Chains A and B, each alone.
Chain A
């Protein structure tokens, strides 16, 4: 498994679908996700993009949608995502007054809590996977590969 570039369930490379087909799939999923999240109770919101991610994942896993029909657009969108997020960052402009008054402690708390989330979840996963491997009595070299 170590030398394989992609996972086993990747089909033989096909030409990417027509861009309009790809847009059709993404917009169809967005439309469906909007309807679904409309029906979620207010106390348990599931946002449109999260529904969309689940739907596309299920459709790919069940082979309704093929990889070559969505992969090119996916790569493109993920590639420009840092750029797409800039307007959200610039939204902080509206919070400047608030930050200037009482922001230092809050900023410190936000930076620490971001780092805490990253590290704690990474370490928890490392420990649990090690435990899981022991339970399955696996060879520790088997399993995860790049």
Chain B
């Protein structure tokens, strides 16, 4: 196990599983279940489980080898994770390039996000009730429209479990990457670039914005603005909503 405590193990594993994903995606003519991010995630987890089985190490030790080379404050896959920060900032560029749309529709954009968020929360709440989820899990799902740094403290403050919220926010991104195209086609959202962009940014966060940029410049700009506004709006709307339905 010690030989895996090496700062390049995590980076190397991530590159390999992602490249396999890209290869499969291309070979199967963009079959949605072979979306590279999804394949990379599943394969990566499978490799870590395999290592755990073979070496008999604890799952914490295996994950730490992957994440930070087995030592605190060291580099591993967390180096790639760190680059998500400048990559998120980079979405200011597609947003600026469609400033014409922002200037023309900013009232509609703002209202759509806030009203849409409230309606979504209501539906999500009742879906959770219908599925029979316990209260703390419902509270963990409500802040999912925000990014991790906003969603985790929010989840805790309305009685949720931050670990579940963290998992939800990650899965949001993976689901939107894998199923986004299918959902857009199924519900015929494609004709409406502003709506699609705002929806992708709200549901899939920055990964939704990646998908949106692929679809077009308006979609990309709208998803970028959605990430910012929905993040802040979640902070304001979710505690009010939790109060109304009596979660706390």
Contacts and interface: CB of A to CB of B under 8 A. Distances in A.
Nearest to B192: A126
A60 interface: yes
Interface residues of A, number: 82
Contacts of B95: 53, 57
A113 B141 CA distance: 8
A19 interface: no
A116 B195 contact: no
Which secondary structure dominates where chain A touches chain B? Answer: helix
A47 B150 contact: yes
Interface in B110-150: 111-113, 115-117, 119-120, 123-124, 127-128, 131-133, 137, 141, 144-145, 147-150
A93 B100 contact: no
Interface stretch (B26-34, B39-47, B240-248): B39-47
B42 to A, nearest CB: 8
Interface string B174-214: 11110110010001010011111011101110111110010
B84 interface: yes
B45 A129 contact: no
Contacts of A6: 97, 217
Interface string A32-68: 0100000000111111111011111100110000010
A119 B175 CA distance: 14
A117 B199 CA distance: 7
B158 interface: no
- Residue picked from A53, A56, A88, A90, most chain B C-beta under 10 Å: A90
B116 to A, nearest CB: 4
Given A87-B66, A110-B172, A129-B105, 18 more contacts: A7-B101, A42-B153, A46-B231, A50-B232, A53-B91, A56-B89, A60-B93, A67-B93, A75-B90, A77-B90, A95-B167, A113-B144, A115-B203, A118-B200, A118-B204, A119-B187, A122-B195, A124-B112
Q: Which 6 A-B pairs have the closest CB atoms?
A: A89-B41, A47-B149, A49-B88, A122-B199, A121-B116, A56-B92
